Amino acid sequence: MNVPNPENNGAIQRRVLAATSVSYVLVLLDTSIVNVALGRISVSLATQIAGLQWVMNAYTLAFASLLLTGGTLGDRWGARNVYLAGLLVFTLASTICGVAADLPSLIAARVLQGVGAAMLVPCSLKLINHACPEPEQRARAVGIWVGCGGVAMAAGPLVGGVLIHLFDSGG
């Protein structure tokens, strides 16, 4: 008979919380950083306000409209599998965003980012729920996860400004 090892459970809980929190921070940082970078995007891709609106809305529409689907896929195929697939999609889409040479490519990549985020965010909560079966542990873990998101939203404009300053090609 296997007896659960409380130390091992604690290590698993910490790893799950760290991984899900970091990915949630990345999803939220991305939104803030893109908001700060809109001026540079406008110059480098020679687009006006309508194009910039699509850069923002492509992500938001994909994320919001597929959030429940991401959770359902996690129920059907396993939260870990869908979370990892979402993280992969989000990471690849972020790379494509970084090298996009024109507005349509950037908008398409932003849609993919939204799809990836819609997969990983609900599944990250399910992973936390599974790793922390006790209500007190789960409440603490979700509080940390949400707190990390709050820090990401607050830090996003600063991080975006620093990145633009460091990597601005002078457009």
DSSP annotation string for 38-98: HHHHHHHTT--HHHHHHHHHHHHHHHHHHHHHHHHHHHHH-HHHHHHHHHHHHHHHHHHHH
Its pTM stands at 0.88
pLDDT in tens, 133-144: 999 999 999 999
Q: Are 52 and 42 in contact (CB under 8 A)?
A: yes
**pLDDT the model gives residue 3:** 44
Mean pLDDT, rounded, for 17-43: 91
DSSP secondary structure letters along 119-144: HHHHHHHHHHHHH--SHHHHHHHHHH
**CA distance between the termini of the chain:** 65
Domain boundaries, the chain: 27-162
pLDDT in tens, 83-97: 999 999 999 999 999
Mean pLDDT, rounded, for 93-121: 96
Whether domain 27-162 has CATH 1.10.10.60: the reply is no
Mean pLDDT, rounded, for 9-29: 92
